[in-house]
Structure 1
Amino acid sequence: MDAQLQRWLGWLSPGEMARHQRFVRAQRQRQFVVGRVLLRMALARLLGVTPQEIGLEEQVGKAPRLVAPVARGTPPGFSLAHSGRWVACAVSAQTALGLDVEMKDGARDLNALAAQAFDSGEMSQWERLQGLPAASRVEGFYRLWSEKEARFKLGAASGGHCLALAHAELSVALCSELPLEQPPAIEIITLE
């Protein structure tokens, strides 16, 4: 995969290359490159161009912005996510998206994470899961966490339309600004 990653580096804009070089860990660099390539491939299919024709511009503290080709009307919605060895991308011609993936890890201190990250409504939902078997609690925690992150990426703390997508190793949440008339293109790959 290293030769492939080197080739894909040529697809990145100068701003993306600068950001890529700021990552210290090799895994994070790979996640970044693979995420941007997945995004370019998905947008290219949607817009009828080659992945190399997709221009993305970095935005501080935000998702990248599509700058080429110039979209007529509403620009496509897209979102990237990564967790461990997984990278995911979703695109839609219809609406803005927020996507999150989280590796399910029951060994983590989920109560401490919930206390630190969940608001009162999410804590109430988490507390209702306490009487369930451990596997169900882990599943429930990551469902809440993923939806929270996907809503944040969408920019909708409580609004939007969210759904959980089935995956054996991951908790996957996709939120959209508008109801989805058709499922968006979602790609989830492993770096191994």
Structure 2
Amino acid sequence: MKLLSPPNSPFHKARVEAMMCNLASLRSVREFADSFKAKKLPLHVLVCNAAVCTQPWNLTEDGLESTFQICHLGHFLLVQCLQDVLRRSAPARVVVVSSESHRFTDLLDSCGKVDLDLVSPQKKDYWSMLAYNRAKLCNILFSSELHRRLSPYGVTSNAVHPGNMMYTSIHRSWWLMTLLFTLARPFTKSMVRKKRA
């Protein structure tokens, strides 16, 4: 499909091509990466933005809790699979969309060590908002370490909080969160108000 640009733009003949990737399937992520590599295209910007929130407990086909896999592990694997393309394409950038909610959790057990059972909990230990917060903390830690490892090769990584001005349906499966977002909306910026500021 064509992306229309102004006639005098150097990108007037630019094309946009959609490729499907299911982050709830590590097989799908690998297949996506292989398909992209086969195109022999440079990769200057990779935005890791997909997320789910307030979902009921569910396991993916890989046997992992779905919020963790979709919000973090799928992106982690995608970046790992495309790391060589990013390095060849330098300067390049990875943008990991996290959330301010990463502040409201941790990944440490009572001894102060990382507890891997917290990132992909069993059903009896699952709370949807906490699962989301933990996945977003993983996003921050991943982006920081990725930047440390790849910046010498011209690939930077940044984690960002998208802000609460973007209205999405990410909270659609939990009525309480939908109510809170609705009540908070008058006190947040819309895209129109953001542009004026």
TM-score (norm 1): 0.30
TM-score (norm 2): 0.29
| Bigger helix fraction | 2
